[in-house]
Chain A
């Protein structure tokens, strides 16, 4: 089991690396565009389109690592009320994780179906770049699947953590 959890963490990290590369790409593309416009009176013509894809892809690709680092915000008064009752707390955490997993899986399912549809029909953006839409969508799908795996790993590790805290 531990090996699987570790593999999931590695995949999340890999996915986050892709997100970081995309952020660097956004930065570089904007600078290139500014230089092109002001120095050479031309443009890459695809700035807002590609930056938009990159923001979407980077957001979803980073989700697994963000979750693992505990950076997604939550409120959780109930968890604090149950401070001294480990079992109830673990059950609550499991319920929260399951609900979130269901939401993420639903997003993943329809993103994947949509990407497959766009791939099969060869749908491209109605811009000068004619980008095949499945490319950025596939990155989003990969990120969502990584996120789902990370949630699953969190869920499966709860019993072990409960045993440890005793």
Chain B
């Protein structure tokens, strides 16, 4: 088989197994087994030993321990009233801004993303608190839903971030540097969202009705105290990483400890809460680590087939400019994002795309940030968009309506992708500054 035929055969095999509903981890391993047995002609015995050794090496990982720990932290936070405090704390400050409480969606998600590693958790935690109030007060439903869908996706870009941990492990890039690199692009996207909301609400003030009360000066300061737990957590978790004192896994453990203290001080800590949080986190972590393990198996199999190298050679012979290549990869990710979740997209494509972009002269750290924003795009596009599903669950609105509301924010994310491609410094300046 020529490399192109082999690639197409693999793609078809993956599409059929995934499309018929085989669990993603099993589909990736199955495709690996089929390739090794039929294409490479390996005996089953050899394939089995290979599967075992790769699975063990991939799962037996210090770096991956940050995943269950950040998940535990997020699960504890979402089971306390910490998100309600965020809402109460931001309300008086954002009420005078054009667009008013719609900015709570943006600022709240941005801040929540800084203590949570997942975007669905961010969207549901913030949405559960803000959406009922926004809709009751007569805000434009499309702006309320759209801004939350868009801003909730920042959970991936603003550290801590599960997808960055996975990218760091697969691409052998410093997870701490990825965490630092996500900050500026994340704030840039939040600013783009807020600017869009302001512009829309200055044109149509009725979309963000005024509150029927004013806030006393004292309430502003009281509000800051409500947000204090977040600042403590952000300082504790990200401060240590940025200062270079701790690794992401250590920061995650410290974050869990700080969350426990905050939950204890506010009188919300109970055995039941801990047990539920742990139960939810252990299952999500299992699901994610299984995909990482299966991706390692698939990636090594592709290596046996020399597929990454062959595809890279084939694409190099096209003599694409670096911009054309990245445009092509970006479009590929948008198409995949229509059907697949972010982690699966990242682990399935990286063995092929990473060598390509490195050969074209891109920084692996920069590509990590690029990939994460592209995955955020996939979160808010139907038919499979996890953030849309969360909002659908919260509001019982049809998927089409939620997706349409998210559309302007999808376009703003594209603007952000273009900006970081034209100005890679947006992603690279801060990490380079910190590491000296």
**Interface of A with B (CB < 8 Å)?**
16, 19-20, 23-24, 26-27, 30-31, 33-34, 47-48, 51-56, 58-60, 62-63, 65-66, 69, 71-79, 92-93, 95-96, 99-100, 102-104, 106-107, 109-111, 113-114, 136-137, 140
Contact = CB atoms under 8 A, between A and B. Distances in A.
A166 to B, nearest CB: 21
Classify the interface of chain B: helix, strand, loop or mixed: helix
Nearest to B386: A73
23 contacts: A23-B278, A27-B253, A34-B246, A55-B61, A56-B60, A58-B286, A62-B285, A63-B286, A66-B282, A71-B284, A72-B23, A72-B24, A72-B290, A75-B384, A76-B20, A77-B339, A92-B20, A92-B21, A96-B21, A96-B23, A103-B30, A106-B33, A114-B56
B26 interface: yes
Interface of B: 17-26, 29-30, 33, 48-49, 51-53, 55-56, 59-62, 64-65, 68-69, 72, 246, 249-250, 253-254, 256-257, 278-279, 281-287, 289-291, 293, 339-341, 344, 384
Contacts of A27: 69, 72, 253, 256-257
A19 B65 contact: no
Contacts of B257: 27, 31
B21 A75 contact: yes
Nearest to A49: B62
Contacts of A58: 68, 282, 285-286
Given A23-B281, A62-B283, A73 B24 contact: yes
Nearest to A54: B65
- The 5 residue pairs across chains A and B that have the minimum distance between CB atoms: A76-B21, A56-B59, A30-B253, A62-B286, A110-B52
Contacts of B340: 75
B26 A99 contact: yes
Given A27-B72, A113-B52, A137-B56, 8 more contacts: A19-B282, A30-B250, A34-B254, A71-B283, A73-B24, A99-B17, A100-B26, A114-B49
